[in-house]
Structure 1
Amino acid sequence: MRFGVPERVEVEVVVYDAVGRLVCSLVRKSCEPGYYRVRWDGCDDLGRAVASGIYFVRFHAGNWTRTKKAILIR
């Protein structure tokens, strides 16, 4: 997944399962202007593989938030 930020901003990218439970945090840091790529390995924050299914990836940077659907197939 790729995202870009136009200015230095706090960025959070997190994954939720289909019922809204937090699965893992992919990014929680301040990012300089530019484009970034983040990859989810299909594991939760404890490193355990999660089940196949529908997940939601939420991107939050400053005042901007976007949620995208992701399908994990094992």
Structure 2
Amino acid sequence: MVDQVATLLGAEVTDDRPNGGHYSAEKTFGRITYGIVHVPRRCQDELQAHMSYRHNIRLDPDQHNGEDGGRATR
């Protein structure tokens, strides 16, 4: 679909998948930019794995005033 939209827009496709990125295209018309992005399954899976830890890590209450160096606790 990115390729189809890029063709319709006359835009160049950017393929950053080999570097862990996305496959995208965009075209700017004055102040308006149209774009399309494909997020590879690998990136989605990596984000899901990363976010699965979000409930297990809580910051120390004193982290904002620098008393303990902002250590994370379980």
TM value normalised by structure 2 = 0.31
- For the pair shown, the structure with the greater C-alpha radius of gyration is 2
Structure with bigger strand share is: 1
Structure with bigger helix share is: 2
Looking at both structures, which has the greater relative contact order when contacts are Cα pairs under 8 Å and sequence separation is at least 6?
1
TM value normalised by structure 1 = 0.31
